[in-house]
């Protein structure tokens, strides 16, 4: 059940362009700030069919032109895109005939489809966080294991560096690291900068845990025995150290992933992470106009998307057989 949900969620994110009627960067200035236009069921001569009514703006108010129903066709061709960045196709899950536009969550103030933007933003946030998590866990494990195994200067040095970095609470550490990078990077390298900042902030807890574990394993009887039998350090590392560290790495990933998602979104929210035209949950939340939240509740979609991702993650993880930390959300960042 949990695995099915996870797969469905990944498919939704990866197939964002297919699920959404248009891409998240396509603009339709006429429809800027339009409310959602949802499909309605209507009886016609040929039986029931789904229709969408085109919107028009009259005197500052949006009105559906109910005399011009436009059919919704499923799995039909529309704007072309590259699925997964590979296959050129123009197939969309549901699309309305012109002049109507199917939009589940309305348009933003620049006339871009909010539903598409929320899915694509969630996708970039989740992918960035997962990549940062893998790099951080790998480098943290290696560094920590090395320091704990070697002992002496390396051990003390890593402890000191980690102490220092942990003295700056989460977001401040990321801001300090961000200060070392160009303020207005070229759009292409922006995700790389965000990755670098996230990785530099996230390896510390992993390294600390790995260090403690390696320090303990070094003194274990079976390691001492292997060493006395003439085992080389590579053998020891591969057969004795790394298997002992893997469960630890898994347990570390549990609180780190949501923390990274929140950190990435926070950086983008503050204008120091991904920036327009790149889409991230943070940039979307930064654009939410809270003044109209009551009249236009769909404005709040990016916030709910962040909440949904974190809830889904905590639910997925709660089933896995691993020690659950007391607080799942943001232990370190």
Partner 1 sequence: MSAARRLARALATVAGVLMLGAALQELAPGDALTDLSGHTHLSQAERDRLRHRYGLDRPAALRWGAWLQGALRGDPGFSIAYQRPVGDLVWPRWRRTAAVGGLAFLLAWGTALPLAAAAALRRGAPWRLGLNALNRIFLALPALALAPLVLAAMLVAGGDGFGLIGPVVVLALVEGARALPALEQSIQTGLERPFVLAARARGRGMAGVLLGHVLRAELPALLSLAALAVAHLLTGSVIVEATFGYPGLGSLALEAVVARDPHLLITTFGVVAATVVGANLAADSAAAALAHAGSVS
DSSP 8-state class, residue 4: H
Part of the chain binding partner 1 (CB under 8 A), chosen from 58-66, 117-125, 205-213, 282-290: 282-290
Residue (55 or 285) nearer to partner 1, CB = 285
CB of 184 to partner 1, least distance (A): 7
Q: What is the DSSP string of 102-132?
A: -BSS-B-TTS-BHHHHHHHHHHHHHHHHHHH
Q: Which residue has the tokens 């809270």?
A: 290
Q: Does 153 bind partner 1 (CB under 8 A)?
A: no
Token representation of residue 129? 């966080």
Query: Comparing C-alpha atoms, which of 14, 9, 6, 10 is closest to residue 81?
Result: 14
Could you say which of 262, 274, 278, 279 contacts partner 1 (CB under 8 A)?
Answer: 262
What 8-state DSSP symbol labels residue 249?
H
Given the complex with partner 1, which of 64 and 308 has the nearer CB atom?
308
Strand pairing partners for 95? 73
Q: In 16-92, which ranges are continuous DSSP H helix?
A: 16-19
How far is it, in rounded angstroms, from Cα 323 to Cα 23? 40
For residue 237, state whether it binds partner 1 (rule: CB under 8 A): no
The verdict on 288 binding partner 1 (CB under 8 A) reads yes
Cis amide prior to 99 (ω within 30 degrees)? yes
36 binds partner 1 (CB under 8 A): no
The answer to whether residue 189 forms part of the interface with partner 1 (CB under 8 A) is no
The DSSP secondary structure of 267-288, one letter per residue, reads HHHTTSSS-TTS--HHHHHHH-
Nearer CB in complex with partner 1: 58/183: 183
- For the bound state, the minimum distance from the C-beta of residue 272 to partner 1, rounded and expressed in Å, comes to 7
**By CB under 8 A, residue 226 contacts partner 1:** no
Comparison of 136 and 245: residue with beta carbon closer to partner 1: 136
Q: How much helix, strand and coil, in percent to the nearest 5, is found in the chain? A: 55, 15, 30
Q: Are 156 and 316 in contact (CB under 8 A)?
A: no
Contact status: 142 vs partner 1 (CB under 8 A): no
Name which position in 172, 220, 233, 238 contacts partner 1 (CB under 8 A).
172
- By the rule CB under 8 A, 6 interacts with partner 1: no
Among the residue ranges 28-36, 41-49, 138-146, 268-276, the one whose residues contact partner 1 (CB under 8 A): 268-276
Contacts with partner 1 by CB under 8 A: the residue count is 48
Both tokens assigned to 317: 């993880």
Which residues make up the interface to partner 1 (CB under 8 A)? 160-161, 163-165, 167-172, 175-184, 262, 265-266, 269-272, 282, 285, 288, 290-291, 293-294, 300, 303, 306-307, 310-311, 314, 326-330, 333
């Amino acid at each position: 059940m949990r695995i099915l949900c996870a797969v469905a969620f990944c498919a939704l994110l990866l197939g964002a362009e297919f699920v959404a009627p248009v891409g998240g960067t396509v603009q339709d200035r006429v429809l800027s700030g339009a409310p959602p236009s949802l499909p309605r069921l209507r009886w016609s001569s040929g039986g029931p069919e789904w229709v969408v009514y085109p919107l028009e703006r009259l005197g500052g108010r949006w009105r559906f032109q109910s005399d011009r129903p436009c059919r919704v066709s499923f799995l039909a061709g529309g704007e072309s895109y590259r699925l997964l960045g590979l296959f050129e196709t123009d197939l969309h899950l549901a699309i309305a005939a012109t002049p109507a536009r199917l939009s589940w969550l309305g348009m933003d103030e620049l006339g871009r489809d909010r539903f598409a933007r929320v899915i694509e933003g969630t996708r970039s946030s989740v992918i960035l966080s997962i990549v940062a998590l893998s790099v951080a866990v790998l480098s943290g494990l290696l560094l920590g294991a090395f320091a704990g195994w070697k002992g002496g200067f390396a051990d003390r040095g890593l402890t000191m560096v980690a102490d220092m970095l942990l003295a700056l609470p989460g977001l401040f550490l990321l801001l300090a690291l961000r200060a070392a990078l160009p303020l207005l990077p070229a759009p292409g390298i922006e995700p790389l900068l965000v990755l670098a900042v996230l990785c530099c902030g996230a390896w510390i807890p992993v390294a600390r845990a790995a260090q403690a574990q390696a320090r303990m394993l070094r003194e274990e009887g079976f390691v001492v025995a292997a060493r006395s039998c003439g085992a080389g350090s590579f053998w020891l590392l591969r057969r004795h150290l790394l298997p002992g560290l893997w469960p630890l790495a898994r347990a570390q990933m549990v609180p780190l992933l949501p923390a990274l998602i929140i950190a990435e979104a926070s950086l983008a929210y503050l204008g120091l992470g991904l920036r327009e035209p790149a889409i991230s949950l943070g940039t979307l939340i930064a654009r939410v106009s809270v003044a109209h939240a009551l009249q236009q509740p769909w404005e709040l979609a990016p916030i709910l998307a962040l909440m949904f991702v974190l809830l889904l993650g905590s639910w997925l993880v709660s089933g896995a057989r691993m020690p659950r930390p007391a607080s799942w959300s943001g232990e370190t960042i």
